[in-house]
């Protein structure tokens, strides 16, 4: 009895596997075609540059104080040396804390990304879900996410349909290849 079920499953399994509809999207391509995303990314880049400049200035000040301390160290009393070291250490600690506040886990950069990019990504994922549901796809993969998508038939790319669902006409040329996404090591 078990053997009969096993043989039956061996014949039925390929039929089950081939009955699923699969498609893929290129999220990088989709996001390039969304003006709000490009604007949000530019704002984030500008903020990042501004915050990095602020941090660099703090470290430059620390470096200046340290070099000044090194030059004057021979002439200073032990009390003044200790006071200057403490001042430099406090400034280093403040600079590290500012760097962590701006770029650390759950920092300002993370919060700004959540504020500006997350709503756009949610709209894209909703459009993908609507497109997949309307076309009755069982799976939709992302070609740009670094998944091990070694080959993709361009007929299965629904990126333009997702953009249409979002009400956007593509500006960037779609990168259709049907070739390898990643090189397999030899």
Q: Could you tell me the two tokens for 28?
A: 């990088």
> Given a cut of 90, is residue 41 above it in pLDDT?
yes
pLDDT at 68 over 70: yes
pLDDT tens track for 138-184: 888 888 876 655 455 677 788 888 888 888 888 765 554 443 343 33
pLDDT value at 62 more than 70: yes
**Which of 27-36, 48-57, 143-152 has maximum average pLDDT?**
48-57
pTM to 2 decimals? Answer: 0.68
> 22-25 and 139-142 as β-strands: parallel, antiparallel, unpaired?
parallel
Reported confidence tier of residue 23, pLDDT bands at 50, 70, 90 = confident
Give backbone dihedrals phi and psi of 172, rounded to 5 degrees, phi first: -80, 145
Q: What is the pLDDT of residue 170?
A: 81
Question: Regarding predicted confidence, which is higher, 97 or 128?
Answer: 97
Tell me the per-residue pLDDT of 123-141, one tens digit each, with 9 for 90 and over. 999 998 898 888 888 888 8
- Please name which of 57, 91, 90, 85 lies closest in space to residue 69, comparing C-alpha atoms: 85
Q: Which two tokens stand for residue 185?
A: 């090591």
Closest CA to 29 of 133, 148, 154, 138: 154
Q: Which two tokens stand for residue 3?
A: 């053997």
The pLDDT > 70 percentage for the chain reads 77
Q: What is the mean pLDDT of residues 89-111?
A: 95
Reply yes or no on whether the pLDDT at 9 is more than 50: no
Higher per-residue pLDDT: 150 or 58: 58
Q: Tokens 């078990």: give the residue.
A: 2
């Amino acid at each position: 009895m078990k053997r009969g079920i096993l043989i039956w499953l061996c014949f039925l399994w390929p039929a089950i596997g081939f009955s699923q509809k699969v498609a893929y999207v290129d999220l990088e391509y989709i996001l390039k075609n969304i003006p709000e995303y490009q604007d949000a990314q530019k704002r984030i880049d500008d903020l990042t540059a501004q915050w990095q400049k602020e941090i660099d200035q703090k470290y430059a000040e620390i470096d200046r104080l340290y070099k000044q301390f090194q030059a004057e160290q021979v002439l200073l009393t032990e009390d003044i040396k200790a006071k200057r070291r403490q001042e430099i250490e406090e400034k280093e600690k403040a600079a590290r804390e500012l760097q962590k506040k701006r770029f650390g886990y759950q920092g300002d950069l993370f919060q700004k990304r959540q504020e500006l990019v997350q709503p756009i990504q949610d709209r894209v994922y909703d459009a993908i879900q609507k497109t997949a549901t309307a076309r009755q796809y069982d799976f939709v993969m992302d070609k740009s996410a670094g998944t091990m998508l070694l080959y993709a038939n361009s007929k299965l790319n629904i990126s333009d349909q997702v953009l249409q669902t979002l009400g956007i006409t593509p500006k960037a040329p779609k990168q259709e290849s049907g070739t390898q996404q990643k090189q397999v090591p030899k």
